[in-house]
Amino acid sequence: MQITNFEELEIGDDLPEESPDVSMATVTAFCHAAKHVFERFIDHEAAKKEGFPAAIVPGIMSQGLLASMIHRWAPGSTILEIDTVFRGSLLVDSKITMTGAVTDIDEDERTVELDLAIVAEDGRTGVIGTAQVQVVS
């Protein structure tokens, strides 16, 4: 559910779960935009030769996916800070799930603190993070 009223936010509120597109086509497009065109991101067989189970989603893309989720949850919001820890590989062409929850609210600054995570298809947590977001609604 999108935020429609800042005053109704509560600590513990969950952001809607999302499963973003991490297909090979989309990850490859990201790599070209980021000028990070490395085989471990865009070629399953090459990634296996490097010891990965398959091609992996770039860490900086996973952060971008979380940012987009925040913008959908809080339209018009401004992300002031986003901090992500890359704990494990997220595989290209797999189903990954993004979650978030409100952990603090500053009513004077109209900002919220979020906990963020991305879970891989096999249940491993690939990314954890936090964000500080200024909400306009």
**CB-based contacts of 112-118 (< 8 A; 24+ apart in sequence):** 112/9, 112/74, 114/15, 114/70, 116/66, 116/82, 116/84, 118/62, 118/65, 118/66, 118/90
Closest distance between another protein and the C-beta of residue 80, in Å? Answer: 6
What SS3 state is found at 33? helix
Q: Which is nearer to another protein, 10 or 134 (CB)?
A: 134
Q: Which of 6, 13, 52, 71 binds another protein (CB under 8 A)?
A: 71
Taking the complex as a whole, the smallest distance from the CB of residue 53 to another protein amounts, in Å, to 17
Work out whether 84 is an interface residue with another protein (CB under 8 A). Answer: yes
Nearer to another protein, 61 or 102 (CB): 61
* Residue pair 85/129 in contact by the 8 Å Cβ criterion: yes
The residue among 84 and 99 lying less far from another protein, judged by its C-beta, is: 84
* Closer residue to another protein in complex, CB, 70/102: 70
Name 115's Cβ contacts closer than 8 Å, sequence gap at least 6: 100, 101, 103, 128, 129, 130
The answer to whether residue 2 forms part of the interface with another protein (CB under 8 A) is no
Q: How far is the CB of 105 from another protein (least distance, A)?
A: 19
CB of 38 to another protein, least distance (A): 12
Could you say which residues in the range 29-68 bind another protein, by CB under 8 A?
29-30, 32-36, 59-61, 63-65, 67-68
> Terminus-to-terminus CA distance in the chain, angstroms?
14
How many separate helices (H) and strands (E) can be counted in the chain? Answer: 4, 4
